[in-house]
Amino acid sequence: MNGTLPPEDLPPFLLMVPADEDEARAAMGSMDDQNNPLAVASMIAAASEEPTKYLRALRQLVTPESRVAWGDFRWVQEVLDGCGMTSQPNRALGDPDVVYVKFIVDDDGITKQVTQDAIVSLRAIMTMVHRPKLGGWRAHGLGDYVAPELVPHD
């Protein structure tokens, strides 16, 4: 299901320095709104810490077409362990209904902002798709980028 995007479709590398946590949270928008892809990605990351307890909710936050690939969601916590989520998704080129949420290694717990002075380690990409008929944004893949043409749409 996951694939590698051509180089021209890849977002730039992330370069980061410490930042104000309140400003970063404000930039992310409402974190309880399924019309915010970052909110849905955050819900999945948080719920994956107890996948058995939140399995039903987790299954509702991913595309129906990808539910088999997500399985019991236990692997999600392993992938995201020690990671932080970036505060802005990257839109897919040519498809406003697909965005990529990046999870970076967070070895110091400090909120950071993009700059040209420091490099971070990218752990995983969550491919998100806007599915109004399902109630908002849904995750379709976690790991590498999924090309927009491979992501189901409403």
Which helix (H) or strand (E) segment holds residue 136: the answer is: strand 136-143
Q: According to the model, what pLDDT value does residue 122 have?
A: 81
Round the average pLDDT of the chain to a whole number and report it: 81
pTM of the model: 0.77
Q: Which domains does the chain have, with CATH numbers?
A: 14-147 (3.10.450)
Q: What is the pLDDT of residue 148?
A: 97
Compute the Cα dihedral for 119, 123, 129, 135 and give only its sign: negative
Ranges of residues in the chain with a pLDDT under 70 are: 1-32, 107-120
